[in-house]
């Protein structure tokens, strides 16, 4: 290139859009245009700092080279001005921890953490902090066109970078991206919704974020649509599937095992922890739409002579049980159900009172072959959150909880509905570019 450009005005303390800079000329100190901007590079610092711009990928004579931020005098709206006349002509090679704004962010989907949904980035805003440029905000509004003219599109206005979690797919930056912890702060049901909306590559990224938290991973799979969970388990090795199912609720694990290929079920069951394997095999023997198929086999029990404070201690110590199954404690005498007592009753009674004085001695209960309609009607009629399942000798086999009943009776067309818009509670963006925290 032989064009010459004057230095132009700088943009210190200003804001630039990536869309302005792409394909803009790169001007050497001498004023000669030596190439064009192909991409900008940032480094994810981890924690809560804004990613600093560390350089640019510049197209020069058919090759792409790296120009470090130390060689850049300034960014303007239509060019990059260098502080040098010569650059290293070796081909650009991406390094660990680097993120390319055009290749990795622009046009790609990210997790909008506050809204718990996947959104696409249509532009990137950079702020000058005085000591360097940082990735500050994303614009997720879809550019709308009418007769060739760009109109304001749908989506939210430019929002703080910290509101998003990128799904880049580059192995070299995954370690740093795990440090943010923003995905782990979402509810399991929200992460499950993200997985169901994600592409295969995006699913891999999201699962990688929760894999380091085994309990969260199990909770997420419990919330997944069964068909989606089955597809994800198909790509996992038997040992990982067995370990995951071993941490899930036994009723959900039984459903997942049932959905595995028949040739794979025995292998996975053999690899599961012995206690969980027994529970899963037991549940698999019941009709999935019956009380036996819906129940959880983990529940809290005590004897009739137990005091209220002792019964509350039993509930407090039951860390592995689902919360819905702990709303009532089941009172057993010689292994037979003789009553139930609610947590509220226990909390409101004198600590030393015997459970036998507080319990409902004729609780509503069903047998394992009770169907879904009967269970739902009983729960509605008696305002129940949990319903004990007993055998012919009044021994408790398990407990059906209201969340499992709701999951079973919600019509499929309700699941396909678009959810109502969620209010956006975002991080307050900095109004002064000099207030950005930058980790260099």
Please state, in angstroms and rounded to a whole number, the distance separating the CA atoms of residues 374 and 391: 17
Longest dimension (CA), the chain: 95
In this chain, the answer to whether the domains covering 15-100 and 295-414 adopt an identical fold is no
Percent of the chain with pLDDT over 70: 84
Fold of 210-285: MgtE N-terminal fold (1.25.60)
* pLDDT band at 9; cut points 50, 70, 90: very low
| pLDDT recorded at residue 40 | 96
H or E stretch at 7: none
CB 41 within 8 A of CB 100: yes
Please state, in angstroms and rounded to a whole number, the distance separating the CA atoms of residues 10 and 297: 68
* pLDDT band at 166; cut points 50, 70, 90: confident
Per residue in 103-148, pLDDT tens? 999 999 999 998 899 999 999 999 999 889 999 999 998 876 544 5
* pLDDT band at 402; cut points 50, 70, 90: very high
| pLDDT recorded at residue 2 | 47
| First-to-last C-alpha distance (Å) of the chain | 33
As a whole number, mean pLDDT of residues 157-176 equals 73
Residue 97 backbone zone (phi > 0: left; psi -120 to 50: alpha; other: beta): left
Domain boundaries, the chain: 15-100, 210-285, 295-414
- Only one residue has tokens 């068909």, namely 227
CB 99 within 8 A of CB 165: no
Strands annotated E in 276-333: 301-302, 328-333
> In this structure, which CATH number among 2.30.30.240, 1.10.10.10, 2.40.30.10, 3.40.1410.10 belongs to the domain 15-100?
2.30.30.240
Please state, in angstroms and rounded to a whole number, the distance separating the CA atoms of residues 58 and 352: 77
What is the architecture, at CATH level 2, of domain 295-414? Roll (3.10)
306: nearest Cα among 262, 376, 358: 358
């Amino acid at each position: 290139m032989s064009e010459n450009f004057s230095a132009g005005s700088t943009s210190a303390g200003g804001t630039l859009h990536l869309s302005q800079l792409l394909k803009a000329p790169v001007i050497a100190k001498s004023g000669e245009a030596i190439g064009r901007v192909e991409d900008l590079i940032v480094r994810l610092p981890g924690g809560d700092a804004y990613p600093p711009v560390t350089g640019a990928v510049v197209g020069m004579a058919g090759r792409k080279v790296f120009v470090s931020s130390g060689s850049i005098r300034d960014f303007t709206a239509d060019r990059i001005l260098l502080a040098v006349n010569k650059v290293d002509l070796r081909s650009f090679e991406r390094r660990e921890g680097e993120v390319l704004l055009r290749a990795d962010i622009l046009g790609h989907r990210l997790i909008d953490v506050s809204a718990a949904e996947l959104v696409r980035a249509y532009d990137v805003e950079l702020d000058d902090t005085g000591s360097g440029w940082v990735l500050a905000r994303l614009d997720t509004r879809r550019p709308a066109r009418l007769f060739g003219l760009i109109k304001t599109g749908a989506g939210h206005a430019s929002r703080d970078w910290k509101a998003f979690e990128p799904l880049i797919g580059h192995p070299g930056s995954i370690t740093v991206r795990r440090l943010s912890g923003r995905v782990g702060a979402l509810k399991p049901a929200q992460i499950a919704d993200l997985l169901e909306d994600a592409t295969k590559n995006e699913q891999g990224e999201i699962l990688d974020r929760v894999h380091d938290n085994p309990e969260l991973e199990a909770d997420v799979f419990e919330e997944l649509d069964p068909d989606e969970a089955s597809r994800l388990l198909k790509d996992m090795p038997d040992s990982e599937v067995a370990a995951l199912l071993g941490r899930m609720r036994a009723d959900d694990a039984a459903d997942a095992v049932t959905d595995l290929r028949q040739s794979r079920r025995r292998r996975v069951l053999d690899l599961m922890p012995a206690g969980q394997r027994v529970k899963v095999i037991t549940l698999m023997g019941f009709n999935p739409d019956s009380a036996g198929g819906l129940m959880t086999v983990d529940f809290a029990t005590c004897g009739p002579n137990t005091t209220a404070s002792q019964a509350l201690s039993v509930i407090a110590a039951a860390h592995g049980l689902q919360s819905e199954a702990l709303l009532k404690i089941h009172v057993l005498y010689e292994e037979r159900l003789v009553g139930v007592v609610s947590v509220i009753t226990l909390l409101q009674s004198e600590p030393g009172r015997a459970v036998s004085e507080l319990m409902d001695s004729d609780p509503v209960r069903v047998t394992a072959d009770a169907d879904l309609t009967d269970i739902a009607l009983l729960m509605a009629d008696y305002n129940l959150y949990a319903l004990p399942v007993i055998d012919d000798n009044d021994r408790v086999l398990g407990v059906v909880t209201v969340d499992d009943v709701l999951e079973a009776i919600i019509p499929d067309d309700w699941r396909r509905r678009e959810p109502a818009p969620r209010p956006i509670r975002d991080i307050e963006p900095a109004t002064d570019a000099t207030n950005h925290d930058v980790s260099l």
